[in-house]
Structure 1
């Protein structure tokens, strides 16, 4: 049973999240993993709480 954890910036709407979940599920189905066995956790992280290359994501253009 694969468990996929996706850390992403907060702000995507419900339809976008559905597309992400469906897309990831399809990847596993292509490898003969039944969709019922796939668990996906979406962690939405505010840009103020995400740092890259010494800067907050909220401070980058």
Structure 2
């Protein structure tokens, strides 16, 4: 059973996260010849204060 973990910064609309899950599921299913029912996708949204870019929190870098 493929398990895919994706970390993204918070702030995207729920429909975009849903689209991401569907697209990743399709790709993994096709690539590994695995039934879609066996593919699991875990999306973790991280606060921008907890995501570092060049030594600084993304909340400071991406204003």
TM-score (norm 1): 0.90
**Equivalent residue, structure 1, for 2:4:** 4
Q: Encode CA deviations 1:5-54: one digit per residue, 9 max, x unaligned.
A: 11100111211011100110111121211101111111010101111211
RMSD (Å) for aligned C-alpha atoms: 1.0
Correspondence 1:30 to 2:61: no
TM-score (norm 2): 0.87
Q: Work out whether residues 53 and 61 of structure 2, in 8 Å CA contact, stay in contact via their aligned partners in 1.
A: no
Structure 1 gaps, min length 5: none
Q: State the 4+ residue runs in structure 1 displaced beyond 6 angstroms.
A: none
- Aligned pairs, number: 61
**Equivalent residue, structure 2, for 1:59:** 60
User: Hey, what's the Cα distance between the residues in 1 that align with 2:43 and 2:30?
Assistant: 21
